[in-house]
Chain A
Amino acid sequence: MRITKDMKMADVIQMNYMLIPVIYRFGINLGFGDKTVTEICGGAEVDLNFFLQMVNTYHDKDYFPKEELQSIPSKDIVAYLKMTHSSYLNEKLSEIEVLIEELQHAEFEDEKYILLIRNFFEGYKNELTEHIMHEEELVFPYVLAVEEICEARSISDRNRKLYESFSIAEYQEGHDDVEEKLMDLKTIMIKYLTPPLNKNLYHKIIQLLFMLEQDLNYHSRIEDKVLVPKMIAMEKIITELN
Chain B
Amino acid sequence: MNNITIVVAEASFLIQEGLNNILKKLGDNQVIQKMDKGEGLFESLGTLKPNMLILNPDLFDGNADLIKQECGKLKNSKLVLISNAKDIDKKYSADAFIHYYDGQAKILECLETLKSDLLKTQKKEKSDEPISAREKNILKHIALGLTNKEIADTLFISIHTVVTHRKNITQKLGIKSVSGLTVYAILNNLIAMDEVK
Contacts and interface: CB of A to CB of B under 8 A. Distances in A.
Given A181-B179, A185-B180, 11 more contacts: A113-B187, A116-B183, A116-B193, A117-B183, A120-B180, A183-B176, A184-B180, A187-B180, A188-B183, A192-B184, A193-B187
Interface in A104-137: 112-113, 115-117, 120, 123
Residue picked from A115, A187, A193, most chain B C-beta under 10 Å: A187
A62 B184 CA distance: 36
A180 interface: yes
A180 B176 CA distance: 7
A187 B1 CA distance: 14
Contacts of B175: 184, 187-188
A193 B180 CA distance: 12
A181 B180 contact: yes
Interface in B169-186: 173-177, 179-180, 183-184, 186
A97 B175 CA distance: 21
Nearest to A173: B47
Contact of A116 (B34, B176, B187): B187
A185 B176 CA distance: 10
Given A116-B183, A116-B186, A181 B193 contact: no
B134 to A, nearest CB: 20
Interface in A153-209: 180-181, 183-185, 187-188, 191-193
Contacts of B183: 116-117, 120, 188
A104 to B, nearest CB: 15
Q: How large is the interface on A (under 10, 10 to 19, 20 to 34, 35 or more residues)?
A: 10 to 19
22 contacts: A113-B187, A115-B193, A116-B187, A120-B179, A180-B176, A180-B177, A181-B177, A181-B180, A184-B175, A184-B177, A184-B179, A184-B180, A185-B180, A187-B173, A187-B175, A187-B180, A188-B175, A188-B184, A188-B187, A191-B174, A192-B187, A192-B188
Interface of A: 62, 112-113, 115-117, 120, 123, 180-181, 183-185, 187-188, 191-193
A212 B109 CA distance: 38
Q: How large is the interface on B (under 10, 10 to 19, 20 to 34, 35 or more residues)?
A: 10 to 19
Q: Chain A interface secondary structure, helix, strand, loop or mixed?
A: helix
Interface in B138-185: 173-177, 179-180, 183-184
Contacts of A113: 187
Contacts of A123: 179
Contacts of B173: 187
Among all A-B residue pairs, the 6 with the closest Cβ atoms: A184-B180, A187-B174, A184-B175, A180-B176, A181-B177, A184-B177
A47 B159 CA distance: 55
Contact of B176 (A115, A117, A184, A193): A184
Nearest to A122: B179
A191 B173 CA distance: 9
